Amino acid sequence: MPLLLLLPLRSSAPLRRLLLCRCCSSSSAAPSPTGLATYRRAFARRMALAGVHPHHRVAVGVSGGPDSMALCVLAAAWKRAGEEREGGGAGNASGFVDGLLGVVVDHGLRPESADESRLVRDRVRGMGVMCEIATCDWPDGRPKQGHIQEAAREMRYQKLLDICIKQQIAVLLIAHHSDDQAELFVMRLSRNSGVLGLAGTGFVSQLFAPNLRYDGDNFSRYGIILVRPMLEFSKDDMYKICQGSNHLWVEDPTNNSMLYVRNRIRASLRSLSIEGTFQSELHKLISACRLTRAFIDNACSAALKNSLTLMEHGYAVIDLEKLDPHNVDDLCLSQYLAYVLQFVSQRHRPLRGRSARLLMDYIRTVPCKAALTVAGCYLAAVPRSKGTKVLVCCSVDLMESSSVDMSYKCSYVKHPLPVSEINQIVSEARLYSDQYLQNYPNIPFLSSKFSTDVLNKAKDLKLMDDCTLEKLNYLRTDEHRKFITTKEHKHEEQYSDKTSFPYLKALNIWPGETCHFMGRFLITWRTSEVVVNGMCLHDNKKQICQYCMVNPDGSLAVRNMCDADWLFLAEVCKIHSLEENKNDSNAFCNKLEDDKLVQHSKYLQLSAMKSLEILRSIPAPARRMLPVLTNSRGEILSIPSNPGLLIAYASPSLVHPYAFRLFFPEAAANTSRLE
């Protein structure tokens, strides 16, 4: 079978990495029109389960391969059919399908990538789908060889999200299919993941922008709905869809390189799937894992609504009486605590091993009397709760080490409002998810803590036979050995690199600027407020008060509050008159030398009193998360109650305490496997 080069070769041109194909193998015969109709019905059913309908604006991530091209084919047909049912046309004046946008991401990691992206874009446009290119920038330079795929993936999703936000698109479609799920299952199996990891990628999830969008008065976190409607289709199905619709695709020869983990696993799965029921049983096992995770996610959602309170000052409170942790399964409780700690700390690392067990033992000790620091969070009994409520706040050590990564400036730029229909899509998808889970009273792997437990339980439940179990154990052992070897090599490289530790810089802001601090607080330093009741943070509407000790360049540093700060506030509250402060050695009090500073002193007293009043209502550990403004010497100048310092107690980066993720395995009569 000949492969045609995507571009005509020039005498000096390098060999193109992407190859143009009409078919994958002789076994992948093009389906009949009836077969294509079956694919279209299955796709439309999946979109409805996700709460997405043809009138919604949808984007499709396109690489040019058979997976994404098949997704474009089905998405366009779904849009056209929906418009026809409503009595309208599916196209607009330009001839493209209305409300459907293809996005090609040019990673810019190879010289020929720009030409290839343009050709893929033109091919998608030839299908009647509007398409554009998103070009990646690498401000820190090209990713290291061992991290290229991971870095490219993160950049790709960021570019897709940016375009969806800019174009006011609520839904992004990704072409992950069942073979991708199988590869991910084996990869996580080799890393000893539990059932939650073995469940793979979600059918529907939410993707959020990393930074807040701020227009000077309001702030919001933008997000979109991420849907993977092809998860019930195989790789062969992708080829058949492209062939049946007479659309070409491109193949990347690097997919055959054994240097990459997924490629090795893909080759092994192909060899083991030639005979027997291995493939179908593997997909049944994955489906059962996903069902278990969906149940746990729903149980955690209900528990969070019932027992967790998020406080405006950036910490959380767990009501142990409402949670009743002794009657919650280990998997559900572990996931519940992981959601809470990830939400508070803003670190998305999963809880594993000893940390997870330590945390569960702590929560199950009722009443709570001790304190615990784990996974970037500090836990202790809430004062006057008699140990029935647990405070969860960010650890000060984490704040000091992560302040640069979690704090950033917000520019005053008008942004489009978040798409309002997202909430309706989420609600509808959740409804379908709840209805589906009601049909499954017996969840298979709730008591399975490790990957080996999952495999053995699947054998007992007759989800697979001895032959399939033997093959999976072989894959797990073989890939685990390679994983450990690679991990040790990377560990040695990490410690041999003396420049791997970044230099942390303080975050400074100037009058009129806004920053999002530690993923929790939106801070605006306003200098245009009208002076009220003698308060004098500034002399006029444009300049700072001459007695406010800012840095030489007029800026202030933002940091979290420390113990010395509220002791200082208490001292300021004791200032009664200038005469009483003449002999005070405090550097601030020595500056009070004439009547011009009387108003300034009164302002500081009132401000300090208001701050202490706020602080008394906040548990001491949580106070250390509050932001303050200081000069270059670390001296506190502005505090949360300052009229010139507007601090909005914004929710942390995640809109919900857990990622919205849904699962809909369809036991369709025309297929022998479950998703």
Residues 116/64, Cβ–Cβ less than 8 Å:
yes
Beta strands in 518-638 (DSSP E): 521-525, 556-560, 627-630, 636-638
Residue from 304, 219, 346, 312 nearest 651 by CA: 312
Domain boundary among 275, 299, 324: 275
Q: How many CB atoms lie within 10 A of CB 456?
A: 13
Examine residue 119 and state whether it is found in any structural domain, yes or no: yes
pLDDT band at 330 (very low <50, low <70, confident <90, very high): very high
Q: Taking each helix axis from N to C terminus, what angle separates 451-460 and 466-496, rounded to the nearest 10 degrees?
A: 170
* Rounded alpha-carbon distances, angstroms, from residue 390 to 336, 394, 642: 14, 13, 30
pLDDT band at 10 (very low <50, low <70, confident <90, very high): very low
User: Looking at residue 275, what is its pLDDT?
Assistant: 76
Q: Please determine, for residue 398, whether its predicted confidence score (pLDDT) is greater than 70.
A: no
Phi, psi at 648, each rounded to 5°: -95, 125
Best-predicted range by mean pLDDT (280-284, 394-398, 527-531, 621-625): 280-284
Strand, coil or helix: 556: strand
DSSP element (H, E) containing 77: helix 66-85
Q: Please determine, for residue 292, whether its predicted confidence score (pLDDT) is greater than 90.
A: yes
User: Looking at residue 545, what is its pLDDT?
Assistant: 53
pLDDT band at 464 (very low <50, low <70, confident <90, very high): very high
Q: What is the CATH number of the domain that holds 234?
A: 3.40.50.620
Rounded to an integer, the average pLDDT of 400-415 is 63
| Minimum mean pLDDT range among 358-362, 376-380, 443-447, 537-541 | 537-541
User: Looking at residue 628, what is its pLDDT?
Assistant: 80
Q: Please determine, for residue 220, whether its predicted confidence score (pLDDT) is greater than 90.
A: no
Strand, coil or helix: 402: helix
| Minimum mean pLDDT range among 386-400, 517-531, 556-570 | 517-531
* Rounded alpha-carbon distances, angstroms, from residue 574 to 440, 577, 630, 640: 66, 9, 21, 19
User: Looking at residue 155, what is its pLDDT?
Assistant: 92
Structural domains of the chain, count? 2
User: Looking at residue 609, what is its pLDDT?
Assistant: 80
| Minimum mean pLDDT range among 91-105, 193-207, 377-391 | 91-105
Rounded to an integer, the average pLDDT of 618-644 is 71
User: Looking at residue 653, what is its pLDDT?
Assistant: 30
Higher pLDDT, 469 or 19: 469
Q: Please determine, for residue 312, whether its predicted confidence score (pLDDT) is greater than 70.
A: yes
Rounded to an integer, the average pLDDT of 292-306 is 91
**Average per-residue pLDDT for the chain:** 77
Rounded to an integer, the average pLDDT of 73-94 is 80
Examine residue 464 and state whether it is found in any structural domain, yes or no: no
pLDDT band at 29 (very low <50, low <70, confident <90, very high): low
Examine residue 361 and state whether it is found in any structural domain, yes or no: no
Q: Please determine, for residue 579, whether its predicted confidence score (pLDDT) is greater than 70.
A: no
Q: Taking each helix axis from N to C terminus, what angle separates 33-49 and 66-85, rounded to the nearest 10 degrees?
A: 80
Best-predicted range by mean pLDDT (328-332, 341-345, 635-639): 328-332
Rounded to an integer, the average pLDDT of 615-641 is 76
Q: What angle do CA 654, 657, 663 make, to 5 degrees?
A: 100
User: What is the residue-wise DSSP string for 375-396?
Assistant: TTEEEEEPTTTTTSEEEEEE-H
Examine residue 37 and state whether it is found in any structural domain, yes or no: yes
Residues 558/636, Cβ–Cβ less than 8 Å:
no
Higher pLDDT, 591 or 64: 64
Q: Please determine, for residue 533, whether its predicted confidence score (pLDDT) is greater than 70.
A: no
Indicate the pTM of the whole model.
Answer: 0.81
H, E, C per residue of 89-127? CCECCCCCECCEEEEEEECCCCCCHHHHHHHHHHHHHHC
Domain boundary among 248, 275, 302: 275
User: Looking at residue 503, what is its pLDDT?
Assistant: 34
Higher pLDDT, 579 or 278: 278
Rounded to an integer, the average pLDDT of 414-429 is 81
pLDDT band at 228 (very low <50, low <70, confident <90, very high): very high
Structure tokens belonging to residue 479: 């890939």
Higher pLDDT, 644 or 479: 479
Contacts of 378 (CB under 8 A, 6+ apart): 371, 372, 391, 392, 393, 394, 395, 396, 621
pLDDT band at 318 (very low <50, low <70, confident <90, very high): very high
Examine residue 450 and state whether it is found in any structural domain, yes or no: no
Higher pLDDT, 237 or 410: 237
Which range marks the domain in which residue 178 is found?
A: 33-84+94-275
pLDDT band at 473 (very low <50, low <70, confident <90, very high): very high
Residue from 241, 238, 242, 239 nearest 36 by CA: 241
Best-predicted range by mean pLDDT (237-246, 501-510, 629-638): 237-246
Euclidean distance between CA atoms 506 and 632, whole angstroms:
10
Structure tokens belonging to residue 217: 């008065």
User: Looking at residue 591, what is its pLDDT?
Assistant: 44
Structure tokens belonging to residue 38: 């079956």
Per-residue DSSP letter, 250? E
Q: Please determine, for residue 12, whether its predicted confidence score (pLDDT) is greater than 60.
A: no
Pairing of strands 100-106, 377-381: unpaired
Residue from 478, 601, 593, 590 nearest 534 by CA: 601
| Minimum mean pLDDT range among 141-155, 567-581, 585-599 | 585-599
User: Looking at residue 126, what is its pLDDT?
Assistant: 92
Best-predicted range by mean pLDDT (9-23, 135-149, 467-481, 569-583): 467-481
Q: Please determine, for residue 251, whether its predicted confidence score (pLDDT) is greater than 80.
A: no
User: Looking at residue 241, what is its pLDDT?
Assistant: 95
Q: Please determine, for residue 604, whether its predicted confidence score (pLDDT) is greater than 70.
A: no
Examine residue 472 and state whether it is found in any structural domain, yes or no: no
Examine residue 314 and state whether it is found in any structural domain, yes or no: no
- Chain position carrying tokens 């571009």: 7
Q: Please determine, for residue 640, whether its predicted confidence score (pLDDT) is greater than 70.
A: no
User: Looking at residue 405, what is its pLDDT?
Assistant: 60
pLDDT band at 129 (very low <50, low <70, confident <90, very high): very high
Domain boundary among 245, 275, 305: 275
Examine residue 330 and state whether it is found in any structural domain, yes or no: no
Q: Please determine, for residue 344, whether its predicted confidence score (pLDDT) is greater than 90.
A: no
User: Looking at residue 245, what is its pLDDT?
Assistant: 87
Q: Please determine, for residue 246, whether its predicted confidence score (pLDDT) is greater than 90.
A: no
Rounded to an integer, the average pLDDT of 89-114 is 84
